[in-house]
Amino acid sequence: MSRPLIHRKPGRLALPPTFLFLAGAFAAAWLLVSLFGRGQFLSAANITNIFIRSVALGIVAVGQSFTILGGSIDLSVAHLISVTAVMSSFIMQGDSANIARAVAVVVAIGLGVGLLNGLIITKLRVNALIATLGTGLFMQGLLSTSFQNFAGAVAPEFEVFAYGTWGPVPIPVAVLLVVAALGVLVMHRTRFGAYLYAVGGNREVARLSGLRTDRVLIGAHVIASLSAVLTGLFIAARLGAGAPWVGQDGVYDLESIAAVVVGGTALAGGRGGVLGTLAGVLIFSIMDAMFNQLGTGAFLKQVFRGLIIIAAVASYSFRSKEEVS
């Protein structure tokens, strides 16, 4: 392997090629909606709408970027989102006095799940896909045994997280942007971020160079779990309560992986970044908004979404000479 450990020049933040794809998607949507759709594509309301659509998937996808960049993966996020949404609204019971306690509990759960995932993968040497599939099934099992329907309610003050505005900017969009900025900061400006690129590029070489690769991977999984918790809190705020199926219904596990990879991060790890992921999520939201305005049914939208995932990744990979499977 002659691949360098850290691809980026330190201190420089190159715009990933995904942004070309994003611009293309935006232009195509604009054109198609103007020609055949109803309503304006370039209205402030529509653009805001596109961003709001991106919040739930965007936050968890930022976290997923860390695991994939490190050469790992997290399939448990959708189930953790359900656990968070249910537990937070169950603990709050509509009372604002309980907000702090509810948030503390779900953050603790997130930390625990992230640690557990990381430890199973690094110490027990279980393949990440199987490990997180297992912890996800286990969490979902416990959750669905204890709750069959919407449980409790979030406090009215907590719904600000989903519906409040901050000047012209909706609070959830501001949260997404802050999360993405934090992600960029951690990935490109901290030692942990640099180590993560090294571990994702080649774990064995990173270990032989003296990195504590296990700790780096555990850190990545904790970040992914915490981001899933934040998405779970957002969904609870938006729905007013959590139900044990909200995470799976949103297919946040596979969709977050798709967003990361469409965003230009290599599935094998070592290349990519958070900004690309944000672009990946926005591409999905733009396509959704476009199909809505064109009056395309939900199922045709799904057909296209799958093909877009393949096409986007193919557009970066087809020139590569590497053998993939």
Partner 1 sequence: MSDGHPTRVQEAIRGTAGGRWREVLRRLPPIFVVLLAICVWISFLNPRFATVPGIMSFLMRAAPAAILAAGQLFVIVSGGFDLSVGSLITLVVLGSSMLIGGDPANTWWVIAVMFLIGIAVGVFNGAVTSWLRVPSFITTLGMLVTLKGFALLWTGGAPRGFLPNNFRVFGRSRVTGIPGLEQVPYAVIILVVTAVAAGYLLHRTGWGKQLIALGDNPRAARLSGVPTARVRIGAFIASSTSAVIAGILLGGFSGVSTNVGDGQELSAISATVLGGAKLLGGRGTMAGAVAGALTLQALFTLLNLLGWPKPLRDGLQGLIIIAAVAYTAWREQRR
Residues of the shown chain interacting with partner 1 in the complex, contacts defined by CB under 8 A: 120, 124-127, 129-131, 133-145, 254, 257-258, 261, 267-268, 297-310, 313-314, 317-318, 320, 322-325
Provide the minimum distance between the beta carbon of 323 and partner 1 in the complex, in angstroms, as a whole number.
4
Cα–Cα distance for residue pair 238/163, rounded to 1 Å: 7
Of residues 94 and 305, the one with the C-beta less far from partner 1? 305
Of residues 108 and 268, the one with the C-beta less far from partner 1? 268
Provide the minimum distance between the beta carbon of 207 and partner 1 in the complex, in angstroms, as a whole number.
15
Cα–Cα distance for residue pair 108/97, rounded to 1 Å: 19
- R_g of the chain, CA atoms, integer Å: 20
Provide the minimum distance between the beta carbon of 228 and partner 1 in the complex, in angstroms, as a whole number.
17
Cα–Cα distance for residue pair 79/82, rounded to 1 Å: 5
Of residues 116 and 154, the one with the C-beta less far from partner 1? 116
Of residues 137 and 169, the one with the C-beta less far from partner 1? 137
- Cβ-count burial of 45 within 10 angstroms (0-12 exposed, 13-18 middle, 19+ buried)? exposed
Of residues 45 and 124, the one with the C-beta less far from partner 1? 124
Q: How far is CA 38 from CA 285, 291, 294, in A?
A: 17, 11, 7
Of residues 149 and 325, the one with the C-beta less far from partner 1? 325
N-term to C-term CA, the chain: 17
The DSSP element (H or E) to which 140 belongs, if any, is helix 128-146
Provide the minimum distance between the beta carbon of 170 and partner 1 in the complex, in angstroms, as a whole number.
28
Phi-psi region of 269 (alpha: psi -120 to 50; beta: other; left: phi over 0): left
**8 A C-beta contact, residue 219 and residue 226:** no
Provide the minimum distance between the beta carbon of 122 and partner 1 in the complex, in angstroms, as a whole number.
11
Provide the minimum distance between the beta carbon of 265 and partner 1 in the complex, in angstroms, as a whole number.
11
Which runs of consecutive H residues, i.e. helices, occur in 156-297?
A: 160-163, 171-189, 191-201, 203-208, 213-239, 246-249, 252-262, 274-293
Backbone angles phi, psi at 299, to 5 degrees: -80, -40
| Nearest partner of 199 among 176, 216, 185, judged by Cα | 216
Provide the minimum distance between the beta carbon of 156 and partner 1 in the complex, in angstroms, as a whole number.
31
Of residues 119 and 174, the one with the C-beta less far from partner 1? 119
